[in-house]
């Protein structure tokens, strides 16, 4: 323990010093107050004495003045009273001879008649002579009382109008009657025996003044205040007291001007006058202040010296004690133990040091033993703590109030709380609500002495984690008596996993028990250890009958020995075996099972059991047999259907071909118009019927799955040329445009089924042309993506379009957008269905976007393979096609103003057998046309003299007027706008070629637009 | 003449026609310049139109392109663009390298 605060020495010195300070200060104060009182009294007394003395002196002088005045009055010759000049002279003589009169009555001597008229005056003043002053207070009073009088102060009517008092004495005649009155005037501001009071000084600033009972100031150092009554009652306490209570003496008071003074008052004996002295306290007590400073100084010095002495003495007598204390403190603080303290002094302190050393020795011994105990304790604690914190069980101790005292690491992990969070809190936070109250009951019951079963035995309760989740806990509680209190130690184990495992096991057990499959478990020798209820149900054996037996009891002899051998070989090598047994029940009945037998292995991989799961498949086996029979029957029926279709196909087509052929033959015989019409109708109906039959056969084949696609090499360009060639004729007949474009990067040497692709294209083109009355049909082939062999075909028309609600059904069987269309346009309604199936067979899909009145675009994709070796003469192959096939030497009129174009076209057609005439403007062309018969006209639009539109119109007009068949006229135009194309049709053009013209386009167009050419035949023959 | 950009492959059948065709284009340049002097845009338009219609047929796609631009420019009377295209045509004709096959 360290000693805090001040040392003993300091403390004692402080206490003694404070004591001295008080004593000195009190003494000084006492002395001071006594001295002050005495001093003040002395000042007051002295001042009163002074004032009294002056008052007495003035009193004496007043008396003296009256005596003088009386003596003067005696010598005034009464007989001459009415003789003014004599009287004046007498008076002047008297005053002259008696100089002391003037020293008292400095303001002059006056003689009044008995009526109050001035009858003499010294010094002489002629203007006052005879003046009636009987109104004067002093005259009236003296005349009435016939005794000497001292007037109240008043202001003289004679310059310099000084304030004065008048002394009067009466003069009697011989009969004793009042004959005259003698007056002596005394100035109050001059240095007379009265005015001199103003000159008296007390100290440096003290002064005296005179006033009467009327409060009129008679003499004052401040001359302006003379004759004033400016001291109202209450302004000066002692002033009032002097008037009202005849107070005489000194006292502290405040003047009417607010000055703090020692005031002294003394009454006169002969008048009602009061002499007052005022001595300002500030000056009067000045010595007192000085004395106070001296006093304080001496006191301070005294205290200082005393403290010094005390300190010296203390230090001397207390230093051994402080030495002892510092050593004791060092013992407390130091690491190494001091054996003892040394104090070189006797007396009480020496004895204290000795005792201290004794105590130190004992303390040392005790400390050593304590240290050993502590180390023991620490070791034990470490051991316990290591157990506490390494055990997987949560250990929690609580006190009798259920407050948690300790919480080990495992408990932290189990509950998710840190120890800090729960220590000091009620243990109930670790329990779900119902347990909180139950735990309270347990602990309470226990504390009452009724031992609860919860103590000492493990039980399952629910715990609550910090995050609020509940979990099962195995809890055992023990109690420890710590003497004054008890604590409870709870050991808990999170049994969530165990519970889960138990439940899992239970679940599996139930699954096996209630399984619809037979389950058998045997040991490694095949002895049955377990069978489930299904086993009993299926086999008819009881459990007791089969335990210890092997599954051989189920053998029927129908399953081959080979199967059993294979089974054993498989499962003993650790693999699962699956197979089918034909088994026998207890009652001898046979049944089929599908069995799966697998070995069970322990953790080391050694086989401990075999599990057999068997399903009774007797019913399935029977179904299978029936199914097999049904299938055979169905297959033969289907074959019959196919045969039927094939036969039908042949049987119907053969007569149909005969009918059509005969119709054709008939048409070549001479017929009248009616017969011709019948024959045509017969032929068309026949062709329609044949088409319908073909479609039906196709769809039947596709649906039956008999349709298989070819994979042959073909040229896409050729295929499209063919298809478009056929449709171009129909399009021209209807007066609509048709163009077929293969984009340049599209591969044309493909492997696929050209026949079926052609069928799809023809179907879509046919539909497009069929449903389009104005405008055009455009086929375009593109790659679906740059790196694919899937091609995208689009067929756009400007036809009637398909309503939105029909679009989705358009590909269904026997569907057309509108039933009315069927009547108008004909057809089976199977074409799109067949196309859709064919496209799907070609790995593509088909769809349509359409707008009623605007037109439709059908799209389809199809997948092809590329031919490995491309033919060498690619462009020639295409170009050569029309050239080779067109045998007839067509006559063509070429109209173009540009020599460049003419030469180009001539060059393109150089190798054909065509005969070509040339015109370089529209007018020349019309002239040429009229003179020859052409198979085709190629007409430029923009030309001098006459443009292509006008020329074509003229040609058409000429044809009509001459009953000529219309010759195909193709526009050669550099315009590519729809509007221009429309205009060209309006003008009577059959089609158009966009400039600059490519050789193939030209040849193709010529082939397409020249009717009855071999090119036409080429397309149709192959069909 | 090793400007690959101006190497054009032309059908052998057209070989006889090409020199004359190109000569006509040089004449077109003169005609267009002459017409520009008279602000005769109609003549320029016809010449451009005809270039457009013929170039590609012979295999000179560039001439078709130039003709098209000239024709369009006349509608806006854009003499600057016309001059630019004549220059382009002139450069093309000077540098062209024809391979017949």
A999 contacts on B by Cβ (under 8 Å): 11
- The answer to whether A666 touches A686, Cβ cutoff 8 Å, is no
Q: Best of A872, A879, A903 to disrupt the B interface by mutation (most B CBs within 10 Å)?
A: A903
Closest-CA distance of chain B to residue A935, Å: 24
Residue numbers in A near B56 (CB within 8 A) = 995-996, 998
Contacts of A560 (CB under 8 A, 6+ apart): none
A87-91, A123-127, A831-835: segment of lowest average pLDDT: A123-127
Residue B80, sorted as left (phi over 0), alpha (psi -120 to 50) or beta, turns out to be alpha
pLDDT tens figures, A974-985: 765 556 666 777
Give the Cα separation of A1012 and A967 in Å (integer).
Answer: 13
The C-alpha atoms of residue A204 and residue A201 are separated, in whole angstroms, by 7
Question: Is A904–B55 a contact, with Cβ atoms under 8 angstroms apart?
Answer: no
- Summarize pLDDT for A167-199 with one digit per residue, the tens: 999 998 888 888 899 999 888 888 888 888 888
Across the interface, which of A898, A907, A942 has its CB nearest the CB of B13? Answer: A907
Q: Reduced to 3 states, what is the DSSP secondary structure of residue A77?
A: coil
Q: Which of A879, A895, A900, A942 to mutate to test the interface with B (most CBs of B within 10 A)?
A: A900
Does B53 sit within 8 Å of A901, measured CB to CB? Answer: yes
Q: Which CATH number fits domain A708-871: 3.20.20.150, 3.40.30.10, 3.40.50.300, 3.30.565.10?
A: 3.30.565.10
For residue A994, the chain B residue with the least C-alpha distance is B53
Cis status of the peptide bond prior to A996, with omega within 30 of 0: yes
Q: Which of A273-277, A658-662, A815-819, A848-852 has the lowest mean pLDDT?
A: A815-819
Q: Is the pLDDT of residue A751 over 80?
A: yes
Separation in Å, CA of B37 to nearest CA in chain A: 23
Please, what is the end-to-end C-alpha distance for chain B in angstroms?
A: 18
Q: Closest-CA residue in chain A for B54?
A: A996
CB A795 within 8 A of CB A839: no
d(CA A934, CA A919): 13
**Cross-chain CB nearest to B17 (options A898, A907, A996):** A907
User: CB A842: neighbour CB atoms within 10 A?
Assistant: 22
- Spell out which residues of chain B touch residue A996, defining contact as CB-CB under 8 Å: 52-58, 64
A910 close contact with B: CB closer than 8 A:
yes
For an interface test with A, which of B15, B45, B46, B50 has the most A Cβ atoms less than 10 Å from its Cβ? B50
Of the candidates B13, A994, A736, the residue with the CA atom closest to the CA atom of residue A1004: A994
Size of interface A-B (CB pairs under 8 A): 50
Where in A394-525 does DSSP place strands (E)? 394-399, 404-407, 459-464, 470-481, 486-494, 518-523
More confident residue, A683 or A782: A782
Contact A900 B54 (CB under 8 A): yes
pLDDT > 80? residue A434: no
- Residue in B closest to A908 by C-alpha: B13
At residue A427, does pLDDT exceed 70?
Answer: yes
Query: Has domain A76-187 been given CATH number 3.30.450.20?
Result: yes
Distance, in angstroms, between B47 CA and closest chain A CA? 10
Query: Taking CB atoms and an 8 Å limit, are A898 and B46 in contact across chains?
Result: no
Beta-sheet strands, E only, within A214-358: 217-219, 249-254, 260-267, 273-280
Confidence band (pLDDT; 50, 70, 90) for A1017? Answer: very low
Name every chain A residue with its beta carbon within 8 A of the beta carbon of B13: 907-908, 910
CA gap A535, A613 in Å, rounded: 10
pLDDT score for A885: 46
- Please answer yes or no on whether A907 and B14 come within 8 Å at the CB atom: yes
- At the topology level, CATH places domain A515-616 in Beta-Lactamase (3.30.450)
DSSP helix/strand/coil, A665: helix
pLDDT digits (tens, 9 = 90+) for A349-394: 778 778 878 887 888 888 889 999 999 999 998 888 888 888 888 8
pLDDT of residue A839: 92
| SS3 call for A251 | strand
Which residue of chain B comes nearest to A997, CA vs CA? Answer: B57
Chain B CB contacts of A904 under 8 Å are 14, 17, 54, 57-58
CB contact under 8 A, B24 and A942: no
Q: What is the pLDDT of residues A6-57, one digit of tens each?
A: 666 677 778 877 887 888 888 888 988 898 889 888 888 988 998 999 889 8
Q: What is the pLDDT of residues A942-1000, one digit of tens each?
A: 888 888 888 998 998 888 888 888 888 888 877 655 566 667 777 788 877 877 788 87
Report DSSP state, residue A587.
T
Rounded to 5°, angle at Cα A501 from A497 and A505: 170
Q: What is the CATH number of domain A391-495?
A: 3.30.450.20
List chain A residues with CB under 8 Å of B12.
none
Backbone CA torsion sign across A118, A119, A120, A126: positive
The CATH number of the domain covering residues in A878-1023? 3.40.50.2300
Predicted local confidence at residue A979, as pLDDT: 61
The CATH 3.30.450.20 portion of chain A extends over 76-187, 391-495, 515-616
Put simply, the chain A residues between 990 and 1009 with a CB less than 8 A from any chain B CB are 995-999
Query: What tokens does A829 get?
Result: 């309604």
Strands A518-523 and A486-494 come out as: unpaired
Q: B-contacting residues of A 888-907, CB under 8 Å?
A: 898-901, 903-904, 907
Quote the pLDDT of residue A888. Answer: 67
Structure confidence at residue B3 as a pLDDT band (50, 70, 90): very low
Helices (H) and strands (E) in chain B, counts: 4, 2
Question: CA A907 to CA A204: how far, in whole Å?
Answer: 157
- Chain-chain contact of A995 with B17 (C-beta, under 8 angstroms): no
Task: Give the strands of the sheet with A969-973, arranged side by side.
Answer: A915-919, A891-895, A936-940, A969-973, A991-994
Contact assignment for A898 to B54 by CB distance below 8 Å? yes
Runs of H (alpha helix) within A891-972: 899-908, 922-931, 948-961
Alpha-carbon distance values, B2 to A247, A320, A687, B9 (Å): 153, 124, 63, 14
In A, minimum Cα distance to B63 occurs at A996
Q: d(Cα B101, Cα B98) in Å, to the nearest integer?
A: 10
The chain-wide mean pLDDT, for chain A, equals 82
* CATH 1.50.10.20 is right for the domain spanning A625-704: no
Q: Where are the alpha helices (DSSP H) in A76-181?
A: 84-97, 99-104, 137-145
Q: Specify whether the backbone of A862 is left (phi greater than 0), alpha (psi in -120 to 50) or beta.
A: beta
**Which chain B residue is nearest to residue A903, measuring alpha carbons?**
B17
Residue among A899, A907, A974 minimizing CB distance to B49: A974
Determine contact, residues A423/A411, Cβ cutoff 8 Å. no
The residue among A660 and A147 whose pLDDT is bigger is A147
One-letter-per-residue 3-state SS of A526-581: CCEEEECHHHHHHHCCCHHHHCCCCHHHHECCCCCHHHHHHHHHHHHCCCCEEEEE
How far apart are the CA of B60 and the nearest CA of chain A, in angstroms? 10
- Cα torsion through A400, A402, A406, A412, rounded to 10: 160
Which chain A positions have a beta carbon within 8 Å of B11's beta carbon? 999
Q: Which residue of A has its CA nearest to B47?
A: A898
Supply B60's token pair: 């000179």
- The answer to whether the Cβ–Cβ distance between B57 and A997 falls below 8 Å is yes
Average pLDDT over residues B42-51: 90
CA dist B88 and B77 (Å) reads: 18
Contact residues, chain B, for A901 at CB < 8 Å? 50, 53-54, 57
Alpha-carbon separation of residue A44 from A53, A267, B63 (angstroms): 14, 17, 145
pTM: 0.34
Contact A399, A392 (CB under 8 A): no
> What is the per-residue pLDDT across A689-746, written as a single tens digit (0 to 9) for each?
877 777 777 777 777 666 778 888 888 988 888 888 778 877 888 888 888 888 878 8
Best of A996, A997, A1002 to substitute, by most chain B Cβ atoms within 10 angstroms, is A996
Judged by phi (left if over 0) then psi (alpha if -120 to 50, else beta), residue A456 lies in left
pLDDT over 80 (residue A335): no
Q: Which residues make Cβ contacts (< 8 Å) with residue A76, sequence separation at least 6?
A: A87, A90, A91, A94, A111, A171, A180, A182
Tokens in use for A964?
């000529």
- Asked whether the predicted pLDDT for residue A857 surpasses 90, the reply is yes
Q: How many residues does chain A have?
A: 1023
Q: Please judge whether A996 and B64 are an interchain contact, meaning their C-beta atoms are less than 8 angstroms apart.
A: yes
Name A811's Cβ contacts closer than 8 Å, sequence gap at least 6.
A832, A833, A835, A836, A846
Does B21 contact A900 at a Cβ distance shorter than 8 Å?
A: yes
Which residues in chain A have their CB less than 8 angstroms from residue B58's CB? Answer: 900, 904, 996
């Amino acid at each position: 323990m360290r000693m805090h605060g001040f040392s003993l020495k300091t403390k004692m010195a402080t206490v003694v010093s404070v004591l001295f300070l008080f004593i000195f200060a009190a003494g000084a104060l006492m002395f001071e107050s006594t001295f002050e009182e005495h001093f003040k009294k002395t000042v007051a007394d002295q001042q009163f004495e002074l004032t009294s003395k002056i008052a007495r002196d003035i009193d004496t002088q007043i008396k003296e003045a009256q005596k003088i005045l009386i003596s003067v009055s005696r010598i005034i010759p009464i007989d001459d009273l009415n003789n003014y000049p004599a009287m004046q002279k007498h008076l002047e003589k008297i005053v002259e001879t008696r100089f002391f009169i003037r020293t008292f009555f400095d303001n002059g001597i006056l003689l009044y008649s008995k009526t109050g008229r001035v009858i003499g005056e010294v010094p002489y003043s002629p203007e006052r002579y005879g003046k009636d002053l009987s109104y004067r207070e002093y005259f009236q009073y003296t005349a009435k009382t016939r005794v000497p009088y001292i007037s109240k102060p008043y202001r003289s009517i004679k310059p310099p109008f000084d304030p004065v008092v008048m002394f009067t004495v009466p003069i009697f005649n011989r009969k004793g009657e009042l004959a005259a009155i003698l007056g002596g005037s005394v100035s109050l501001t001059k240095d007379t025996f009265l005015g001199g009071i103003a000159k008296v000084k007390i100290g440096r600033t003290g002064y005296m003044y005179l006033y009467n009972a009327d409060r009129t100031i008679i003499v004052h150092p401040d001359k302006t205040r003379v004759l004033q009554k400016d001291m109202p009652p209450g302004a000066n306490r002692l002033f009032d007291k002097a008037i009202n209570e005849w107070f005489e003496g000194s006292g502290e008071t405040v003047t009417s001007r607010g000055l703090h003074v020692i005031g002294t008052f003394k009454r006169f004996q002969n008048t009602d006058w009061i002499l007052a002295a005022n001595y300002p306290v500030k000056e009067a007590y000045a010595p007192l202040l000085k004395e106070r400073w001296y006093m304080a100084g001496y006191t301070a010095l005294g205290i200082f010296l005393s403290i010094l002495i005390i300190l010296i003495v203390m230090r001397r007598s207390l230093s051994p004690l402080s030495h002892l204390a510092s050593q004791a403190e060092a013992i407390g603080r130091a690491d190494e133990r001091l054996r003892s303290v040394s104090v070189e002094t006797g007396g009480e302190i020496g004895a204290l040091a000795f005792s201290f050393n004794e105590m130190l020795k004992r303390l040392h011994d005790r400390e050593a033993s304590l240290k050993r105990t502590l180390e023991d304790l620490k070791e034990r604690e470490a051991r316990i703590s290591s157990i506490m914190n390494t055990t997987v069980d949560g250990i929690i101790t609580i006190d009798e109030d259920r407050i948690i005292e300790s919480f080990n690491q495992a408990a932290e992990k189990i509950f998710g709380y840190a120890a800090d969070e729960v220590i000091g809190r009620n243990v109930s936070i670790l329990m779900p609500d119902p347990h909180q109250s139950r735990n309270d009951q347990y602990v309470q019951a226990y504390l009452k002495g009724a031992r609860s079963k919860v103590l000492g035995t493990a039980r399952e309760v629910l715990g609550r984690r910090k995050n609020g989740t509940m979990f099962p806990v195995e809890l055992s509680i023990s109690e420890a008596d710590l003497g004054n209190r008890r604590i409870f130690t709870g050991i808990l184990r999170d049994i969530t996993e165990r519970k889960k495992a138990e439940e899992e096991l239970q679940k599996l057990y139930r699954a096996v028990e209630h399984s619809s499959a037979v389950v058998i478990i045997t040991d490694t020798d095949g002895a049955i250890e377990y069978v489930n209820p299904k086993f009993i149900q299926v086999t008819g054996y009881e459990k007791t009958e089969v335990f210890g037996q092997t599954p051989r009891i189920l053998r029927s002899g129908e399953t081959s020995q080979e199967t059993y051998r294979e089974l054993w070989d498989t499962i003993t090598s650790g693999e699962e075996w699956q197979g089918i047994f034909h088994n026998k029940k207890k009652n001898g009945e046979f049944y089929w099972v599908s069995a799966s037998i697998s070995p069970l292995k322990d953790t080391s991989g050694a086989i401990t059991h075999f599990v057999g799961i068997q399903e009774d498949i007797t019913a399935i086996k029977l179904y299978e047999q029936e199914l097999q029979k049904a299938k055979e029957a169905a297959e033969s029926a289907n074959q019959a259907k196919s045969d039927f279709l094939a036969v039908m196909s042949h049987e119907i087509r053969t007569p149909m071909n005969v009918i059509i052929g005969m119709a054709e033959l008939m048409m070549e015989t001479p017929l009248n118009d009616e017969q011709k019409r019948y024959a045509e109708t017969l032929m068309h109906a026949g062709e329609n019927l044949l088409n319908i039959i073909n479609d039906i056969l196709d769809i039947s084949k596709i649906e039956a799955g008999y349709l298989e696609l070819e994979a042959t090499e073909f040229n896409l360009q050729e295929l499209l040329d063919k298809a478009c060639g056929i449709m171009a004729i129909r399009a021209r007949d209807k007066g609509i445009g048709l163009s077929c474009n293969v984009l340049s990067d599209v591969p044309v040497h493909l492997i696929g089924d050209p026949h079926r692709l052609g069928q799809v294209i023809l179907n879509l083109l046919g539909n497009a042309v069929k449903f389009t009355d104005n405008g055009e049909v455009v086929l375009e082939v593109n790659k679906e993506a740059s790196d694919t062999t899937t091609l995208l075909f689009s067929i756009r028309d400007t036809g009637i379009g398909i309503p939105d609600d029909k679009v989705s059904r358009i590909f269904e069987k026997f569907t057309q957008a509108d039933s009315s269309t069927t009547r108008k346009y004909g057809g089976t309604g199977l074409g799109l269905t067949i196309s859709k199936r064919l496209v799907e067979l070609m790995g593509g899909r088909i769809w349509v976007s359409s707008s009623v009145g605007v037109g439709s675009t059908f799209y389809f994709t199809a997948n092809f393979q590329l031919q490995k070796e491309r033919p060498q003469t690619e462009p020639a192959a295409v170009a050569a096609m029309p050239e080779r096939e067109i045998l007839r030497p067509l006559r063509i009129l070429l109209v173009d103003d540009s020599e460049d174009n003419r030469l180009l076209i001539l060059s393109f057609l150089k190798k054909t057998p065509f005969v070509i005439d040339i015109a370089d403007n529209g007018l020349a062309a019309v002239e040429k046309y009229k003179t020859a018969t052409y198979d085709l006209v190629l007409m430029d639009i923009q030309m001098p003299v006459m443009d292509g539109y006008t020329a074509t119109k003229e040609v058409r007009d000429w044809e009509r007027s001459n009953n000529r068949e219309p010759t195909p006229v193709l526009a050669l135009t550099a315009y590519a706008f729809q509007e221009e194309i429309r205009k060209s049709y309006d003008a009577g053009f059959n089609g158009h070629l966009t400039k600059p013209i490519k050789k193939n386009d030209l040849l193709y167009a010529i082939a397409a637009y020249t009717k009855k050419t071999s090119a036409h035949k080429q397309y149709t023959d192959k069909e | 003449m090793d400007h690959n950009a101006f190497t054009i492959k032309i059908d052998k059948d057209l070989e006889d026609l090409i020199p004359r065709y190109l000569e006509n284009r040089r004449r077109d340049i003169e005609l267009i310049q002459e017409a520009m002097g008279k602000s005769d845009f109609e003549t320029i338009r016809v010449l451009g139109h005809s270039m457009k219609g013929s170039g590609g047929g012979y295999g000179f796609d560039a001439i078709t392109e130039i003709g098209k631009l000239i024709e369009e420019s006349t509608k806006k009377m854009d003499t600057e663009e016309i001059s630019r295209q004549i220059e382009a045509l002139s450069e093309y004709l000077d540098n062209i390298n024809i391979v017949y096959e």
